Amino acid sequence: MQWKNFDELDTYKKLNSIREVVDIKNEMAGESGAQRVDKYKVNMAADMVYSYAAKNVNDNIIDILQELADEAELIDKYQELYNGAVINTGEKRLVLHHLCRGQLGNDVIADGVNKREFYLLQQKRAGEFAVKVHNGEILNEKGEKFTTVVQIGIGGSDLGPRALYLALENWARVNNTLKMDAKFISNVDPDDASSILATTDLAHTLFIVVSKSGTTLETLTNESFVKNALISNGLDPSKHMLAVTSETSPLANNPAYLDSFYMDDYIGGRYSATSAVGGVVLSLAFGPEVFARILDGAAKADITAKNKNIRENAAMLDALIGVYERNFLGYGVTAVLPYSQALIRFPAHLQQLDMESNGKSVNRFGEEVNYVTGPVIFGEPGTNGQHSFYQLLHQGTDINPIQFVGFKKSQMGNDVIIENTTSQQKLNANVAAQIMAFACGKDDENKNKYFEGNRPSSIIVGDQLNPESLGALLAHFENKVMFQGFVWNLNSFDQEGVQLGKVLAKKVLAKNTEGALTAYSELLGIF
Amino acid sequence: MQWKNFDELDTYKKLNSIREVVDIKNEMAGESGAQRVDKYKVNMAADMVYSYAAKNVNDNIIDILQELADEAELIDKYQELYNGAVINTGEKRLVLHHLCRGQLGNDVIADGVNKREFYLLQQKRAGEFAVKVHNGEILNEKGEKFTTVVQIGIGGSDLGPRALYLALENWARVNNTLKMDAKFISNVDPDDASSILATTDLAHTLFIVVSKSGTTLETLTNESFVKNALISNGLDPSKHMLAVTSETSPLANNPAYLDSFYMDDYIGGRYSATSAVGGVVLSLAFGPEVFARILDGAAKADITAKNKNIRENAAMLDALIGVYERNFLGYGVTAVLPYSQALIRFPAHLQQLDMESNGKSVNRFGEEVNYVTGPVIFGEPGTNGQHSFYQLLHQGTDINPIQFVGFKKSQMGNDVIIENTTSQQKLNANVAAQIMAFACGKDDENKNKYFEGNRPSSIIVGDQLNPESLGALLAHFENKVMFQGFVWNLNSFDQEGVQLGKVLAKKVLAKNTEGALTAYSELLGIF
């Protein structure tokens, strides 16, 4: 197996020479459009479908993308990864988030431990702990039940778990499996912790401190915030606080915590939602069965991603269409637009997942690359976005590809019929309409009302947003980002770009600055 | 006064021929960097400062931007606007949001009404209504006080008021002026309304239906949702519902509502936060005095924006630096990064404000333009973003300019000292550090740890996020977007790009489709 820069591949040259802009407007018009929708789709895990009919592809381009997948040995690299190779070259680490949800290949033994067993043990421990909290075996000092859980973490310890919690909160409510309310404290801004503490019943709340190293500035600061509040309310922090951390961190196996659950160096923050980082809070909020169903959906998506046939592997196809649009059509931004209010923070999670993984200028060997890599990711739920930034997506001067997500059924099942249709029908009529509006546009003599069309989009459609489909959706994007990183020959699993700011912030706090940094410190009134 | 395309201006040619990329890295290094920070700043309203030292400018570029401001007659156009000219050429409407907060120029008489007096009357009525709710003159059917207000609206009726509410919720809590909790229902997704209704004490809640036309699909649908819920809980909707609408809409002066407050065609949704659209909900939530202070801050920013000297007009300078980066340096995205958790939804508001105003390809006369216009806007609060997408901003292959916002003091005043500094100091140390990290980068033999630098950013610094500074911040960005629209010769006040999707969605719901639209409707299980 070889790790080559993208522009060293034959298929790069082939794609670069064609740079074919498909006339989506024409392809999607009339009855041939219906045939295209029928043809250009892939079954995904959890009964979802990835539809790419409105993307800038045709049979020829997909054939070359298949060649690219083969030449770049994407599936072999994926296999290397889940079998425990040192894929994170910068930090010299394995990359094992897939093992949280299933055994895709060989046993992975690291540091003398079977890692699948290690992750399963943490899941089991988190689940057992959660059940004891739910059934009243673990109580507060007064012998009362805990009702709320607050996760203290930032970045991957916040965005993924928060997005998943919000995605299932209402589903759990109507399915009688909302065991505890979950809240999150992330920002070092003191108003973040203050506001959560001011509106939370501390005596009945468990706090989870999540930091792999046990040294994350924001998280330790917010932990102190919370401990002070507990103490000043006459509560014993060691009866209210849990740790999710690595076994070697100062937080591990520490009597300051009611219990500790473990993560390791082989799962990066942004890939940790299916590890103990998500598992403890989600098992407490929804019960361990729901968390197990999320893992099950993710495991199925991981298996689907092993397929070498690009037309049957949605994550790989999605990845390579994205590469085509980014490198050969020059599009710099991808909008992620879920038609589901419950996915309100899912775009923020994908923003981290994608931009922190592939927003890089050097390859996995630390050499500068000569092509563009990861795009900017942003998004909000539809239909809200339609009344906001879609104006630019439709009629702006740049083309920004779109990734829609939709579900046939609502989560709560409560609906209202206005003008003969339900809200759910209106919601989905809007996303169907948007795909076609972006694809085909509209002629108009009044140029202000003219829509150029040919603006590419794809859609993932599921039956309902539930634990399985949510898990599959999460894993789909993780695998998409992984495949794109392989094509670009990046290390998608480190984040050296976050270090410099930390170093300079420490200098400011130590008053060890000069020049402009001193001037900004004064402007901001830091001292 | 002349409305010319940007590329017809002499200063366009001048800027296009220089396309000067300033060596920010060098300019910001050493003691000259401190001098630059001291020099390149502008006082804003509400004691805020706009610092542009880390932007891609020098004295020469700013001089040409001043020429551009003069040649494009930006201040004259602003004057035309606030004096009541038909600036919204597409819809043939005046553009009067400034009049909500002050009389900047001549009296504006439209439809036989003095518009300043009209807006003041609505503010007064909203304030008086709110006080009656707060002091118990207006009660529910059982004679009990209302505790919660829910705004039902989408787009501008949602994003701006929601962003402002969240920005001041904690400030109001510690200043004992949080009179009622506010919530928002926007999406046509039935789970949005269901989830708010399931977690709200309906008997003590007022609902505000906000729709200028009284025909917005999402809003009317959600209104029915709420009415059904009220009725099935034995409550009389007409005792719980308010309308904010135009005087000619079916919702106006209608016995189905406890009261109605009025807006007009001269304030577009995304500019309506300081009209009754924001005024009713914010007066109920915080009291009319707080809303008046927001307006006061905005009014001061509007006055500052009248200054013809670009070095003393932060909104105009911010606008023109943005134009320079967009049109001559080719940057397509702007990240808005407030170091304030309370501004969590402010970037989403700016996303609408900017992208819906200037995401256009035709000028105000409906002719296609030959230059790029509004950028993509996205953002999340720092420090959260640092642990998420900053990787790409620092080391990605594209340059994305950044707009930071920060405040010297926290809102709640509750803080903790860890390692000798407060959280607020840590927060601000981080933003100072990030500006310098983006500007100056870091050399490293290990290219993976190398930061190129020369990534431009600006920062707005205020003393504290309070009603005045929030109002000034809001108006700053409104005026920035307005000036950019003038430069690009756009109509920043219509949104024809949102129409096509609505038309096609109606076809889907009427089962009046063919081809691919039918195929997508089936895929999404709409019928």
**C-alpha dist (Å) from residue B305 to A120, A190, B475:** 61, 33, 9
A355 vs B37: CB contact, 8 Å cut-off? Answer: no
Average pLDDT over residues A203-220: 93
**C-alpha dist (Å) from residue B517 to A48, B189, B501:** 19, 20, 12
The pLDDT value given to residue B216: 86
Checking if the pLDDT of A522 tops 90, the result is yes
To the nearest whole number, what is the mean pLDDT of chain A? 97
CA distance A393 to A390: 5
**Which residues 6+ apart lie within 8 Å of A389 measured at CB?**
A380, B351, B352, B355, B356, B359, B376, B377
Strand pairing report for B457-462 and B49-51: antiparallel
Listed by number, the residues of chain B in 96-135 with a beta carbon closer than 8 Å to a beta carbon of chain A are: none
In this structure, what token pair is assigned to residue B381?
A: 């609060």
Name the phi and psi angles at B492, rounded to 5.
-80, 10
Q: Taking a C-beta distance cutoff of 8 angstroms, is the pair A82, A266 a contact? A: no
User: Measured between CB atoms, which of A195, A340, A394 is closest to B500?
Assistant: A394
- Asked if B6 has any chain A CB less than 8 Å from its own CB, the reply is no
In this structure, what token pair is assigned to residue A332?
A: 């710099």
Q: Which residues of A touch B366 (CB under 8 A)?
A: 446-448
CA distance B205 to A1: 64
The label of the residue with tokens 């507990």 reads A230
pTM above 0.95, yes or no: yes
Q: Which residues of B touch A368 (CB under 8 A)?
A: 447
Annotated catalytic residue, options A145, A502, A506, A511: A502
Give the HSE-up count for residue B171: Cα atoms under 13 Å, Cβ half-sphere.
Answer: 23
Q: What is the pLDDT of residues B137-162, one digit of tens each?
A: 999 999 999 999 999 999 999 999 99
Q: Containing H/E element for A321?
A: helix A314-323
B361 vs A394: CB contact, 8 Å cut-off? Answer: no
In this structure, what token pair is assigned to residue B76?
A: 């004259």
- Asked if B194 has any chain A CB less than 8 Å from its own CB, the reply is yes
For helices A30-39 and B515-523, the axis angle rounded to 10 degrees is 30
The pLDDT value given to residue B215: 87
A310 CB neighbour count, 10 Å cutoff: 25
- Asked if B30 has any chain A CB less than 8 Å from its own CB, the reply is yes
B421 vs A509: CB contact, 8 Å cut-off? Answer: yes
The label of the residue with tokens 């951390």 reads A245
Q: What is the pLDDT of residues B472-514, one digit of tens each?
A: 999 999 999 999 999 999 999 999 999 999 999 999 999 999 9
Name the phi and psi angles at A377, rounded to 5.
-115, 130
Q: What is the pLDDT of residues A323-354, one digit of tens each?
A: 999 999 999 999 999 999 999 999 999 999 99
The pLDDT value given to residue A215: 87
Active site residue B134: no
To the nearest whole number, what is the mean pLDDT of chain B? 97
Strand pairing report for A148-152 and A181-185: parallel
Q: Taking a C-beta distance cutoff of 8 angstroms, is the pair A354, A319 a contact? A: no
Percent of chain A past pLDDT 90, that is, above it, reads 98
A10 CB neighbour count, 10 Å cutoff: 11
SS (H, E, C) A114-150: EHHHHHHHHHHHHHHHHHHHHCCCCCCCCCCCCCEEE
Q: Taking a C-beta distance cutoff of 8 angstroms, is the pair B495, B90 a contact? A: no
Annotated catalytic residue, options B31, B387, B445, B514: B387
Q: Which residues of B touch A332 (CB under 8 A)?
A: 332-333, 398
Name the phi and psi angles at A296, rounded to 5.
-65, -45
**Which residues 6+ apart lie within 8 Å of A62 measured at CB?**
A310, A311, A317
H helices present in A175-215, as ranges: 190-198
- Asked if A1 has any chain B CB less than 8 Å from its own CB, the reply is no
Q: Which residue is closest to B523 within chain A, CA to CA? A: A461
A415 vs B439: CB contact, 8 Å cut-off? Answer: no
Q: How far apart are the first and last CA of chain B?
A: 55
A234 CB neighbour count, 10 Å cutoff: 9
Give the HSE-up count for residue A225: Cα atoms under 13 Å, Cβ half-sphere.
Answer: 32
pLDDT tier for residue A216 given thresholds of 50, 70 and 90: confident
Bond prior to A177 in cis (omega within 30° of 0): no
Q: Taking a C-beta distance cutoff of 8 angstroms, is the pair B97, B482 a contact? A: no
For chain B, helix, strand, coil in percent to 5 are 50, 15, 35
- Asked if B370 has any chain A CB less than 8 Å from its own CB, the reply is no
Annotated catalytic residue, options A387, A419, A445, A447: A387
Q: Taking a C-beta distance cutoff of 8 angstroms, is the pair A257, A242 a contact? A: yes
Find which of B152, B373, B416 to mutate to test the A interface (most A CBs within 10 Å of its CB).
Answer: B416
CA distance A24 to A438: 9
Q: Which residues of B touch A221 (CB under 8 A)?
A: 416, 418, 423, 426
In this structure, what token pair is assigned to residue A208?
A: 């989870």
CA distance B1 to B77: 8
pLDDT tier for residue A217 given thresholds of 50, 70 and 90: confident
- Asked if A411 has any chain B CB less than 8 Å from its own CB, the reply is yes
pLDDT tier for residue A270 given thresholds of 50, 70 and 90: very high
Per-residue pLDDT of chain B (527 residues; tens, 9 = 90+): 999 999 999 999 999 999 999 999 999 999 999 999 999 999 999 999 999 999 999 999 999 999 999 999 999 999 999 999 999 999 999 999 999 999 999 999 999 999 999 999 999 999 999 999 999 999 999 999 999 999 999 999 999 999 999 999 999 999 999 999 999 999 999 999 999 999 999 999 999 999 998 988 889 999 999 999 999 999 999 999 999 999 999 999 899 999 999 999 999 999 999 999 999 999 999 999 999 999 999 999 999 999 999 999 999 999 999 999 999 999 999 999 999 999 999 999 999 999 999 999 999 999 999 999 999 999 999 999 999 999 999 999 999 999 999 999 999 999 999 999 999 999 999 999 999 999 999 999 999 999 999 999 999 999 999 999 999 999 999 999 999 999 999 999 999 999 999 999 999 999 999 999 999 999 999 99
Active site residue B356: yes
Q: What is the pLDDT of residues A92-139, one digit of tens each?
A: 999 999 999 999 999 999 999 999 999 999 999 999 999 999 999 999
Q: Which residue is closest to A493 within chain B, CA to CA? A: B391
User: Measured between CB atoms, which of A173, A372, A394 is closest to B497?
Assistant: A394
Q: Which residues of B touch A491 (CB under 8 A)?
A: 448
Q: Which residues of B touch A508 (CB under 8 A)?
A: 429, 432-433
> What is the C-alpha R_g of chain A?
24
Q: Which residues of A touch B362 (CB under 8 A)?
A: 395, 447-448, 450
Active site residue A306: no
